[in-house]
Amino acid sequence: MPEKHYSTCTLCEAMCGIEVTTETENGSNEILSIVGDKNNSFSQGHVCPKAKALKDLYDDEDRIRQPLRKVNGQWQKISWDQAFELVAANIHKIQQQHGLDSVGIYLGNPNAHNYGAILFGPHFYRALKTFNRFSATSVDQLPHHIVCRKLFGHQNQIPVTDIDNTQYFMIIGGNPLASNGSIMTVPYIKKRLKAIQQKGGKVVVIDPKKTETADISSEHHFISPGTDALLLLAMVNSLFSQKLTSIERLQQFASNLAQIEQYVRNYPPERVADKIGIEAHEIHRMVREFARAESASCYGRMGASVQRFGTLTQYLIMLFNMLTDNLDRQGGMMFTQPAADYLPHSGRGSIAKGKSRVRGLPSFAGEYPVSALAEEILTPGDGQIKAMILGAGNPVLTTPNGQQLDNAFEKLDFVVAVDFYITESTRHADVIIPPVTALERDHYDIVFHKFAVRNSVKFSPAVFPMGEDKRTDWQIYLSLAEHLEAARGVLPMSKGNDKYQTLWQMTPTGVVDNLLKTGRYANGEHNLSIQTLLDNPHGIDLGPLQPNLPEALFTVDQKIDLCFDFFMPDIQRLEQFFYGSVDSPYHSLLLIGRRHLKSNNSWLHNSKRMVKDTSNCTAQIHPDDAERHHIENGDVIRLSSRVGEIVIDAEVTNKVMRGVVCVPHGWGHDKEGIQLQHAQSVAGVSCNDLTDEMVLDELSGNAVLNGVAVSISKP
Ligand SMILES: Nc1nc2c(c(=O)[nH]1)N[C@H]1C(S)=C(S)[C@@H](COP(=O)(O)OP(=O)(O)OC[C@H]3O[C@@H](n4cnc5c(=O)[nH]c(N)nc54)[C@H](O)[C@@H]3O)O[C@H]1N2
Ligand SMILES: Nc1nc2c(c(=O)[nH]1)N[C@H]1C(S)=C(S)[C@@H](COP(=O)(O)OP(=O)(O)OC[C@H]3O[C@@H](n4cnc5c(=O)[nH]c(N)nc54)[C@H](O)[C@@H]3O)O[C@H]1N2
Ligand code: SF4
Ligand SMILES: [Mo]
């Protein structure tokens, strides 16, 4: 008998509710269909084509289902206990020999969609006692965390666009029609962007590419990659010169708002227009329309963050919203009030507490920028990384100068991967410990409920019961922690241990239950707990976003701290870069990235349903640039940078700005020893063989993956 389950898609940030129909026969489980859950209180039936990939993941024969150990280059199946013991013994040995920091860890993006890993992973990371921690954060949203840590006192107190109420939505460097939104959990984005326009509002897109989002917007402006901070300086300058600021309300939280004027004096639109590629009168007009709109929100994402002045850009975006009275107001940028609020119980984010050993890069929230990972492995000396743990990440394809990292991984004494695929990164592992896929575990969006455009709550019990011979990420991490401490002799395993016994009994679901029962919707109408959520399988709507100042502030004095001393000096670096006497390095083109609706960073390429061929892995260039370099559509071209080169098909299109080349990331599945049959047959190339680990957004240490100088030639 087919059975229906109401679950949540975990592949991107949109939190779409799904209806999964399954059948179990002779003990074997089958997914018959995955469709949008029309009754889901948050997503109301919306799904994108990727939802069906959850079935492909579940069925995938290449997926690993039991721990593996590499012996003389061959994979052997081992038991769970053997895997945990082997890992613990090796880590302990290496740390005894070379010190605690000789073990490094890299955590990838899917962890954010996995509350078990978020809540229980740290028990293992802490047990490792290493300072060499890295994650995908520093190729992504690190600038957002730093800006919000400084301004609002907590790295995750990041306001989101109140999209259903805004009259003017400016999107800088985001393409939600492909990505389905980021740091803005918003299913059905297309419908919502159209709704803004239908009620007389505007959607304005600033992007070096005329994207799918730009195609349905009211207005699109090409911008030269990496110049967004200049644009924002000019926008803030224009606000003051046109006397359009409106600071009375927010001044009670940030009394020095008016002082911003002095920092932007040098950047009238007339001065920067040529550099950014948007005319001065257009900037003035946009600023006027934004400031005069009933409500407005300026939102910047990947394209604005993961570039040379990403942190300054995100900071100025926040100031622009504040100066136009659009923070914490309906239709502006607002703070979501989640039902299970982990913020008060998690680190606020310490800035630059440590410096990386080789290059002295600042840490943030206990992590170093991943751009420093390869050099920490390759540079001899005290604290050199000798062993790595890779948890749900594929940094060989996703971080700058991936080829160098690939070579570095080869030199390690020991590698552990918590992953269910043998990828470009995990092929270096000595032991692979595979968790179950998303549908086999309970799910609660501990991260993304916090960034949702409506307050809502949903719990998704596992679709399939997890067999005795399976483990989730949290069980793997807790076992690893326990075994490591036992190997060190801290905890004799045989006697059992209170700390771990409590944690095993607690479970991540128990943690969420506690958060719900002590949270802001615990009592009254909603009376939230895991049980209430089990009784409401389509989720519960908790209403539109509400003003939340000053409660939203984690600063000691409950004021917004504009931290001019931290951010504003970066304007000097910008001035030097754009107007200094030293020429910026010669380039013929600037590389930017792109996302495709049916792809997900470096994975899902093993699904035949998602990926048919390599037609999405092309280098898009403008017809004028193509002509200049004698390139025709479909020609094979070579792109080179300081760190490497790729050979790729050219796609000539006037959708990209002149001077820009646009290549997606996450491809390049032609390395030896991976086990992803279909992905291997549609390999593509990795644009991160071009991105440069030495070029950083210096304020944060975030990688620069957009606006990378590359030259073009015929191979
Ligand atoms: N040039 C360029 N590079 C980029 C970007 C770009 O725009 N341009 N984007 C960057 C961004 S925003 C990000 S977030 C990073 C992502 O970079 P990473 O996080 O390093 O890479 P992913 O492709 O997300 O890695 C996913 C891995 O996790 C495994 N996995 C999936 N689900 C689970 C799970 O539930 N548990 C476990 N243990 N493993 C799982 C998959 O098998 C896969 O091996 O890429 C970055 N790289
Ligand atoms: N289908 C799909 N969905 C995804 C993902 C995926 O890989 N595939 N990844 C998920 C992840 S991990 C993340 S972080 C989010 C990211 O979500 P988004 O931030 O929406 O990411 P992108 O779609 O890459 O959009 C970035 C845009 O920035 C533009 N851009 C590049 N350089 C610049 C610049 O210098 N200035 C400006 N103004 N714009 C620039 C690019 O042309 C692109 O249109 O997507 C998530 N959703
Ligand atoms: S938009 Fe697509 S990938 Fe994202 S949660 Fe919804 S169905 Fe999943
Ligand atoms: Mo990301």
Tens of pLDDT along 237-289?
999 999 999 999 999 999 999 999 999 999 999 999 999 999 999 999 999 99
Q: Distance between the two ends of the chain, CA-based, in angstroms? A: 58
Ligand that lies nearest to the alpha carbon of residue 190, given by its number in the listed order: 3
Question: How far apart, in whole angstroms, are the C-alpha atoms of residue 234 and residue 228?
Answer: 10
Dihedral, 447, 510, 544, 189 alpha carbons, nearest 10? 40
Ligand 2 — pocket residues by CB below 6 A? 12, 109, 140, 172-176, 178-180, 182, 206-209, 211, 223, 225-226, 228, 301-304, 307, 592-597, 599-601, 706-707
- Check pLDDT > 70 for residue 140: yes
CA–centroid distance, residue 646 to ligand 3 (Å):
31
Residue 166, token pair as written in the block: 């805004």
Taking CA atoms only, the protein residue closest to ligand 1 atom 28 is: 392
User: Using 50, 70 and 90 to split pLDDT, how confident is the model at 330?
Assistant: very high
Q: Does 421 sit in the ligand 1 pocket, CB within 6 Å?
A: yes
Mean pLDDT across 633-642: 97
* Sign of the CA dihedral with 478 first, then 481, 487, and 491 last: negative
Backbone angles phi, psi at 408, to 5 degrees: -65, -45
Burial pattern 352-363, b for ≥16 Cβ within 10 A else e, equals eebebbbbebbb
CA–centroid distance, residue 595 to ligand 4 (Å):
11
Taking CA atoms only, the protein residue closest to ligand 2 atom 1 is: 597
Ramachandran sector of residue 710 (left: φ over 0; alpha: ψ -120 to 50; beta: rest): beta
Q: Do the beta carbons of residue 276 and residue 189 sit within 8 Å?
A: no
Q: Which atom of ligand 3 is nearest to the CA of 49?
A: 2
Q: What is the DSSP letter of 599?
A: -
Instruction: Give me the pLDDT at residue 586, please.
Output: 47
CA–centroid distance, residue 448 to ligand 3 (Å):
12
Closest CA to 530 of 542, 543, 519: 519
Residue of 175, 184, 320 with the most ligand 2 atoms within 8 Å of its CB, for mutation: 175
- Check pLDDT > 90 for residue 468: no
| Chain-centre distance for alpha carbon 433 | 23
Question: What mean pLDDT value characterizes the chain?
Answer: 96
Residue 148, token pair as written in the block: 């919000």
CA–centroid distance, residue 173 to ligand 1 (Å):
20
Taking CA atoms only, the protein residue closest to ligand 3 atom 4 is: 12
List the alpha helices (DSSP H) in 154-215. 176-179, 189-198, 212-215
Residue 216, token pair as written in the block: 């349905």
- What percentage of the chain reaches a pLDDT higher than 70? 98
Q: Does 712 sit in the ligand 3 pocket, CB within 6 Å?
A: no
Question: How far apart, in whole angstroms, are the C-alpha atoms of residue 690 and residue 640?
Answer: 7
Q: Which atom of ligand 3 is nearest to the CA of 600?
A: 3
Count of helices and strands (H, E) across the chain: 24, 30
Instruction: Give me the pLDDT at residue 452, please.
Output: 98
Q: Do the beta carbons of residue 204 and residue 286 sit within 8 Å?
A: yes
Backbone angles phi, psi at 179, to 5 degrees: -90, -15
Strands (E), 280-426: 297-300, 333-334, 351-355, 362-364, 387-391, 414-418
Closest CA to 600 of 389, 421, 447, 456: 421
Backbone angles phi, psi at 327, to 5 degrees: -105, 135
Q: Does 183 sit in the ligand 3 pocket, CB within 6 Å?
A: no
Residue type, 415: V
Taking CA atoms only, the protein residue closest to ligand 1 atom 42 is: 421
Question: In the beta sheet, which residues pair with residue 62?
Answer: none
Q: Which residue has the higher pLDDT, 204 or 466?
A: 204
Residue type, 657: M
Residue of 224, 320, 595 with the most ligand 2 atoms within 8 Å of its CB, for mutation: 595
Q: Does 402 sit in the ligand 1 pocket, CB within 6 Å?
A: no
Q: Which atom of ligand 1 is nearest to the CA of 394?
A: 20
CA–centroid distance, residue 537 to ligand 4 (Å):
28
Ligand that lies nearest to the alpha carbon of residue 48, given by its number in the listed order: 3
Instruction: Give me the pLDDT at residue 496, please.
Output: 58
List the alpha helices (DSSP H) in 363-428. 373-378, 395-398, 402-410
| Residue 159: burial class (beta carbons within 10 Å; 0-12, 13-18, 19+) | buried
- Check pLDDT > 60 for residue 220: yes
Q: Which atom of ligand 2 is nearest to the CA of 666?
A: 7
- Check pLDDT > 60 for residue 495: no
Question: How far apart, in whole angstroms, are the C-alpha atoms of residue 553 and residue 477?
Answer: 32
- The pTM score is 0.98
CA–centroid distance, residue 70 to ligand 4 (Å):
30
- Check pLDDT > 80 for residue 14: yes
Taking CA atoms only, the protein residue closest to ligand 2 atom 18 is: 174
pLDDT digits (tens, 9 = 90+) for 15-67: 999 999 999 998 889 999 999 999 999 999 999 999 999 999 999 999 999 99
Instruction: Give me the pLDDT at residue 26, please.
Output: 86
Instruction: Give me the pLDDT at residue 583, please.
Output: 58
Tell me how far CA of residue 215 lies from CA of 209, 281, 621, 655, in angstroms.
10, 23, 18, 10
Q: Considering just the CA atoms, what is the radius of gyration of the chain in Å?
A: 25
Q: Tell how strand 17-25 and strand 28-36 pair up.
A: antiparallel
- Check pLDDT > 90 for residue 614: no
Instruction: Give me the pLDDT at residue 490, please.
Output: 81
Q: Helix, strand or coil for residue 70?
A: strand
User: Using 50, 70 and 90 to split pLDDT, how confident is the model at 588?
Assistant: confident
CA–centroid distance, residue 462 to ligand 1 (Å):
23
Instruction: Give me the pLDDT at residue 615, please.
Output: 86
- Check pLDDT > 60 for residue 585: no
Closest CA to 254 of 594, 564, 592: 564
